[in-house]
């Protein structure tokens, strides 16, 4: 069965500092991996996804993530945090054995300090 863990339910960084949000998954087959962002009182918005090909994936708002099969990880990074990055971030996994059923991680709340 698929599962997703996100280390740290709450991460705080200073404005301009590196953002690193961790995601590890379990899947019996090569997975498809997604990062979503949720701003307060809004729905989830796709940041980026990995399906096949290049393992370093670039997304919107300067975020990127790297798929590391050996570590079963898909960590999200951004070189320099902005105040507007404060939000909840969700990692999700799917694979063709489970149809379109996404499994979402528990989420990580990112705070950006001035």
Partner 1 sequence: DAGVIQSPRHEVTEMGQEVTLRCKPISGHNSLFWYRQTMMRGLELLIYFNNNVPIDDSGMPEDRFSAKMPNASFSTLKIQPSEPRDSAVYFCASSLESSYNEQFFGPGTRLTVL
* Neighbouring-strand partners of residue 72: none
Q: Does 109 bind partner 1 (CB under 8 A)?
A: no
What is the nearest approach in angstroms of partner 1 to the Cβ of residue 50?
9
Which residues does 56 contact at the CB level (< 8 Å), separation at least 6?
64, 65, 66, 67
Helix, strand, coil percentages for the chain (3-state, nearest 5): 10, 50, 40
Distance CA 62, CA 15 (A): 14
Give the torsion through C-alpha atoms of 61, 37, 64, 8, to 10 deg. 130
Stretch that binds partner 1, among 18-26, 61-69, 71-79, 102-110 (CB under 8 A): 102-110
- One residue of 14, 28, 51, 80 binding partner 1 per CB under 8 A: 51
Least distance in Å: CB of 56 to partner 1? Answer: 18
Binding mask 11-50 for partner 1 (x = CB under 8 A): ---------------------x-x-x-----xxxxx--x-
Looking at residues 68 to 97 of the shown chain, list those that interact with partner 1 (rule: CB under 8 A). Answer: 90, 94-96
Residues that bind partner 1 (CB under 8 A): 32, 34, 36, 42-46, 49, 51, 90, 94-96, 98-102, 104, 106-107
């Amino acid at each position: 069965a698929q599962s997703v863990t996100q280390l740290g339910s709450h991460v705080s960084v200073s404005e301009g500092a590196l953002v690193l949000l961790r995601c590890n998954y379990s899947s019996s087959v090569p997975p498809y991996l997604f990062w979503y962002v949720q701003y307060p009182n809004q729905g989830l918005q796709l940041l980026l996804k990995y399906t096949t090909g290049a393992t370093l994936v670039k997304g919107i708002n300067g975020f990127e993530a790297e798929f590391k099969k050996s570590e079963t990880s898909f960590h999200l990074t951004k070189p320099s945090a902005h105040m507007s990055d404060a939000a909840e971030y969700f990692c999700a996994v799917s694979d063709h054995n489970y149809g379109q059923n996404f499994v979402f991680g528990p989420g990580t709340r990112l705070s950006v300090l001035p």
